[in-house]
């Protein structure tokens, strides 16, 4: 039986739609994850303090009254031991990597992990207070997520241990047009910015230095070719063309089956 024009058109459209479909490797995260081993470095990650970090530092002891000299209120006045943490002074790490701490003076904290910084302060406070306890938090831990995500923006994190996937989840995840194998992470260390590309479809990514984000990291998701092409003709036009192609292919298939 000779092949009619409508049959040829139907076969061509089906072939075209098949080619335009995204494959699994384009959209699935952490492929072959079952073959990847998690390293101890990833499990023990702790953020490193940087310039411009805003810290909350509370010194505690068995006798709360003797900690007054270190827990100076944000606003000077009559200090009560039971006052909340929100009234305690915060400390900004300056451009030299230092904070000005009561009694102790300038202390360099930039470049230390939070645990190392706590140990440093504990040793310096120990001559004044027996068995001191230091509670430290980064108050301005922020991550920016831009590009092909549902809700781009800057997000303040309550946790100091945030992964790329958690940051993307805060932004509503990638859109279907997001390029998953070439995500840009901009990071600053000691005033020097680095630009790093990561592939979140690759299961080895969980053991990289960029699986966990640091404060003020910027995550940029690039658009894929489909999104770039749609920007040339407009998304509405592309949607209409896609719908028209689906209608034509459906009609052609019906004609082919009824012959």
Q: Rounded mean pLDDT of the chain?
A: 80
Give the separation between CA 121 and CA 128, rounded to whole angstroms.
12
| Phi, psi dihedrals of residue 31, rounded to the nearest 5° | -65, 145
Of 199, 172, 243, 150, which is closest to residue 30 (Cα–Cα)?
199
For the record, the structure tokens of 242 come out as 């896609």
pLDDT band at 187 (very low <50, low <70, confident <90, very high): very high
Tell me the pLDDT band of 247, cut-offs 50, 70 and 90.
Answer: low
* pLDDT at residue 87, rounded to an integer: 63
Q: Where are the domains of the chain?
A: 7-41+148-259, 54-138
Query: Rounded to whole angstroms, how far apart are CA atoms 197 and 220?
Result: 10
Mean pLDDT value across residues 64-81: 69
Residue 22: its pLDDT value, please?
52
Whether residue 254 is predicted with pLDDT greater than 90 in this model: the reply is: no
DSSP type of residue 88: B
Is pLDDT of 225 > 70?
Answer: yes
In this prediction, residue 252 carries a pLDDT of 64
Query: 7-41+148-259: which CATH topology?
Result: Outer membrane lipoprotein wza fold like (3.10.560)
Contacts of residue 152, defined as CB under 8 A and 6 or more positions apart, other chains included, come to: 145, 146, 171
pLDDT of 78 above 50:
no
Please answer whether residues 42 and 211 qualify as being in contact, where contact means their C-beta atoms are separated by less than 8 angstroms: yes
Place of tokens 């999104």: 227
- The CA distance from 237 to 22, in Å, is 20
Residues 6+ apart with CB under 8 A from 194: 186, 187, 188
CA dihedral 42, 46, 48, 49 (to 10 degrees): 160
d(CA 151, CA 169): 9
Confidence of residue 29 (pLDDT cuts 50, 70, 90): confident
**pLDDT tens, 119-152?**
999 999 999 998 999 999 999 999 999 999 999 9
Q: Is the pLDDT of residue 41 over 60?
A: no
Are the CB atoms for 91 and 57 separated by under 8 Å?
Answer: yes
Mean pLDDT score, 67-84: 62
Q: What is the C-alpha R_g of the chain?
A: 28
Three-state secondary-structure class, residue 118: helix
- Record: fold of 54-138: wza like fold (3.30.1950)
Note the maximum CA span of the chain: 99
Backbone angles phi, psi at 125, to 5 degrees: -85, -25
């Amino acid at each position: 039986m000779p092949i009619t024009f409508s049959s040829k058109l139907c076969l061509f459209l089906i072939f075209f739609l098949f080619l335009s479909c995204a494959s699994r490797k384009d959209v699935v995260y952490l492929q072959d994850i079952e073959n990847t081993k998690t390293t101890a470095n990833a499990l023990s990650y702790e953020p490193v303090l940087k310039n411009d970090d805003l810290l909350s530092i509370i010194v505690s002891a068995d006798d709360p009254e003797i900690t007054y000299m270190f827990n100076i209120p944000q606003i000077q006045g009559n200090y009560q031991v039971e006052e909340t943490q929100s009234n305690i002074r915060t400390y900004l790490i300056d451009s030299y990597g230092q904070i000005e701490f009561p009694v102790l003076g300038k202390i360099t904290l930039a470049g230390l992990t939070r645990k190392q910084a706590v140990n440093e302060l504990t040793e310096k406070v120990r001559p004044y207070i027996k068995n001191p306890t230091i509670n430290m938090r980064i108050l301005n831990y922020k991550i920016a997520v831009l590009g092909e995500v549902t809700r781009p923006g800057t997000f303040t994190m309550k946790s100091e241990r945030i992964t790329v996937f958690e940051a993307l989840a805060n932004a509503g995840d990638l859109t279907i047009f997001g390029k998953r194998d070439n995500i840009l992470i901009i990071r600053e260390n000691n005033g020097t910015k680095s630009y790093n590309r990561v592939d979140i479809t690759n299961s080895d990514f969980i053991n990289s230095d960029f699986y966990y984000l640091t404060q003020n990291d910027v995550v940029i998701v690039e658009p894929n070719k489909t999104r770039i092409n749609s920007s040339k003709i407009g998304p509405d036009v592309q949607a209409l063309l896609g719908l028209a192609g689906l209608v034509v292919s459906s009609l052609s298939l019906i004609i082919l089956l009824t012959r």
